[in-house]
Amino acid sequence: MATETPEGHPPIDWSKWEPAGEGDVRSPCPMINALSNHHILPHNGKGITKGQIVSVLTKSINLDSKIANVFATGALATNPDHSAHSFDLDHLRKHGVIEHDVSLSRNDIAFGDNHSFDKSVWEGVMKSYGEKTETDFASVSKARYERVMAAKKAHEEAGKDFQYGIKEFVLSYGESALFLGILGDPKDGKIPLEHLKVLFEQERLPYKEGWRPLEQPLTQTQMNHLIFSLTTANEHKAAEAAEVGLGTVHAVTSAVTSILPSFCNVM
Ligand code: HEM
């Protein structure tokens, strides 16, 4: 069940929202950009410390602090100044740290811009949902896998190297699990497609459309459940396991159940 703000945290005015302006920087992450657009993270997208982003993610959208810490550590590693204690949102486009090929709404680095919202990539993903107005595990899994296949084909046709191994697999499933868990109920994989579109297309939390922050933090166990449900819903899971070099569906399951430790190892 959702609430106005996570218990014990001051209310957030989710109606406060302004897109990036002159001199502001943004990232390939729709959620982090949205939090800057809502002025919850710095609106200019600059000088964000690890403590600051962990605090924002736990207080505003109720992400478990351990998960927030893993991503925040990755974020800091993207700053070209390795002695810095903060990062700017445009640092996050650094390929191979968190940013990877096969994004749902961004193009791949081999084709130039790996960080700006790409209407044509996103529309291809939305097409997978057909006439649906609500997600389920099967449709989210199908949309994600079709994007992987489309990216693979585009690389082959252009004679470019396609990067889709275990790291990209984990991150890509993890990101679909994150939007299901944060925008909906961490158990059932159902969110209104309209909410997903608002997050990706406008980089805004769909508060006025009815979304409310989770009452309890989204935990690693819940993330494992979401990712496991997504991988098992993929009717091409055996082919995908072979593609990423895991060999068997069983190996995919093992990779998934140790998902957050894997995040730590691959970053
Ligand atoms: C410190 C926290 C976070 C950092 C540093 C971060 C960073 C990133 C980065 C660099 C990407 C690009 C990956 C790619 O190439 O596709 C990304 C994608 C994504 N992130 Fe985040 N993220 C964070 C938290 C979150 C949270 C809490 C959500 C919750 C919904 C989220 C949702 C997503 C989604 C859905 C994508 C995939 C975008 C796409 O495929 O086009 N992120 N994130």
Query: Distance between CA 153 and CA 229 in Å, rounded?
Result: 26
- In this prediction, residues 152-158 reach a mean pLDDT of 97
Q: How much is the pTM?
A: 0.93
Of all atoms in ligand 1, which is nearest to the CA of residue 122? 41
Q: What's the 175 CA to ligand 1 centre distance in angstroms?
A: 6
Higher pLDDT, 236 or 121: 121
At which residue do the structure tokens 């459940």 appear?
Answer: 225
Q: Ligand 1 pocket check: which of 26, 27, 29, 198 to mutate, most ligand atoms within 8 Å of Cβ?
A: 29
Q: Ligand 1 pocket check: which of 71, 175, 203 to mutate, most ligand atoms within 8 Å of Cβ?
A: 175
At which residue do the structure tokens 């650094």 appear?
Answer: 94
Q: What's the 179 CA to ligand 1 centre distance in angstroms?
A: 9
What's the pLDDT score for residue 3?
A: 53
Q: Minimal CA–CA distance to 175: which of 104, 93, 252? A: 104
- The residue length of the chain stands at 267
Q: Minimal CA–CA distance to 142: which of 156, 153, 123, 127? A: 127
| Confidence at 252, pLDDT banded by 50, 70, 90 | low
pLDDT by residue (tens digit) across 42-93?
999 999 999 999 999 999 999 999 999 999 999 999 999 999 999 999 999 9
| Confidence at 221, pLDDT banded by 50, 70, 90 | very high
Ligand 1 neighbour 260 (Cβ under 6 A): no
Ligand 1 neighbour 31 (Cβ under 6 A): yes
Ligand 1 neighbour 182 (Cβ under 6 A): yes
